[in-house]
Amino acid sequence: MARAAMRAGGGTAARGGQGRGPDRGALGRRLLLVYAALVYGFLFLPILLVMVTSVNPDGRATFPPPGVTDRWYRDLVSDDQMLEAFRTSLTVGAIVALVATVLGLLAAWGLSRYTFRFKRGVRALFYLPMLVPGVVGGISLVIWFNRIGLASGFWTIVIAHVVHALPYTLTLILTSFYGFDRRLEEASRDLGAGEWSTFRRVTLPLVMPGVIGGALLAFTLSFDEFVLTFFVAGGGVQTLPLVIFSRIRFELSPVINAAAAVVIAVSVLVLLSGQLAGWARARRQA
């Protein structure tokens, strides 16, 4: 009977331990959810506040707003300086996306297909702009542009943004190169296709999700970039972040909130477009 009692007690203790386990796990999940909510709130509530303020009739950061208006967006559309800066940002972003994507595609092709001395060092050099602070990079580019006699303006902005966006583009495209079966390329060459034909008909379609994602990310980084632009723009060309910064130093106009909301919307739409394009391509391949 003593042994039976001990077995019963042991079983009860085991069941009690098992009962306490899920409780601790549930508590951990709740704490994790609370922590995640706090982090996301810290990151995104200021952005939400800007969006709400841009439609607030008072033009102030009051919540909830007393009403909804499009007055500040109408003032933004009639602001020639803002519109010109917006067009400049779009143009620079498009050029940067094209150049950074082409360079990233070529670099990813070489790094994934060939073995050579100091390969790791060369690859590390591509990622160096990600590690250098923006202020240091901006000062370095200004010194270099002055050294080679290139006047500050539109093309210095493009070059600086390409240097800034290339590591991110290369990372996405390089991941795509490492993610597919290279035997497909070998089969294409065995069937008589040349290097260029294999790349155009086999390799490029397979890495296209990374190429599209890299281009969209490069556009977003260029469209939002301020620090490098501040150093290399000079006085003749201004992008939208520069105009916004120059105005908030003197007056926080509600039009600035509308412009900031437009920048946020463009960035979100570009990233969502990349996600939807990748999702649609995956569905077609499936």
Reported as a single tens digit per residue, the pLDDT across 132-190 is 888 898 899 999 999 998 888 899 999 999 999 999 999 989 888 887 777 777 787 77
CATH code, 202: 1.10.3720.10
Name the more confident of 99 and 264.
99
80 band by pLDDT with thresholds 50, 70 and 90: confident
Name the more confident of 193 and 261.
261
Structural domain of residue 137, as residue ranges? 72-285
Q: In sequence order, what DSSP letters do the residues of 20-76 get, joined into one string? A: HHHHHHHHHHHHHHHHHHHHHHHHHHHHHHHHHHTT-TT-S--SS-S----HHHHHH
In this prediction, residue 1 carries a pLDDT of 47
pTM: 0.76
147 inside domain:
yes
pLDDT at 6 over 70: no
Both structure tokens of 221:
């980084």
* Residue pLDDT, tens place only, 115-124: 888 888 888 8
Q: Which residue has the tokens 């007690």?
A: 9
Both structure tokens of 142:
């200004």
194 inside domain:
yes
* Residue pLDDT, tens place only, 34-49: 999 999 888 888 888 8
* Residue pLDDT, tens place only, 212-230: 888 988 998 998 899 999 9
Name the more confident of 167 and 246.
167
End-to-end CA distance of the chain: 64
Number of domain units in the chain = 1
Closest to 275 in 3D by CA, of 209, 178, 205: 209
29 inside domain:
no
In this prediction, residue 145 carries a pLDDT of 92
224 inside domain:
yes
143 inside domain:
yes
User: What secondary structure letter does DSSP report for 132?
Assistant: S
Least confident of 14-18, 63-67, 112-116: 14-18
